[in-house]
Amino acid sequence: MEAKLVALGVETFKIALLLALPGLLTGMLLGLAVSIFQATTQINEMTLSFIPKIIGVVIVIILTMPWMLNSMTDFSVEIFNMIPTFIE
């Protein structure tokens, strides 16, 4: 019983990391690109890094939303189907 719960917790963290990965990776890559651009052009504007990251992350989340929704739905159905095994 405890092994099932631990496996469920590990799977929950895996799904959470997998769903967060596209947005986080996009923000990191765009932040790196803007930092390189700022270092090259010697522009030290703090707000310059936020706008591309926000726009990029929003676009990636919109594009990956169907995949994210399917992943969350499949995981939720799997958890609901496991409920009878935990009641015993």
**DSSP codes joined into one string, 11-51:** HHHHHHHHHHHHHHHHHHHHHHHHHHHHHHHT---GGGTHH
pLDDT digits (tens, 9 = 90+) for 46-75: 788 889 999 999 999 999 999 999 999 999
Q: Provide the residue range defining the domain that includes 30.
A: 2-83
Within a domain: 88: no
pLDDT digits (tens, 9 = 90+) for 18-49: 999 999 999 999 999 999 998 898 888 878 88
Within a domain: 28: yes
Query: How many domains would you assign to the chain?
Result: 1
What's the whole-model pTM score?
0.80
Within a domain: 44: yes
Within a domain: 48: yes
Within a domain: 78: yes
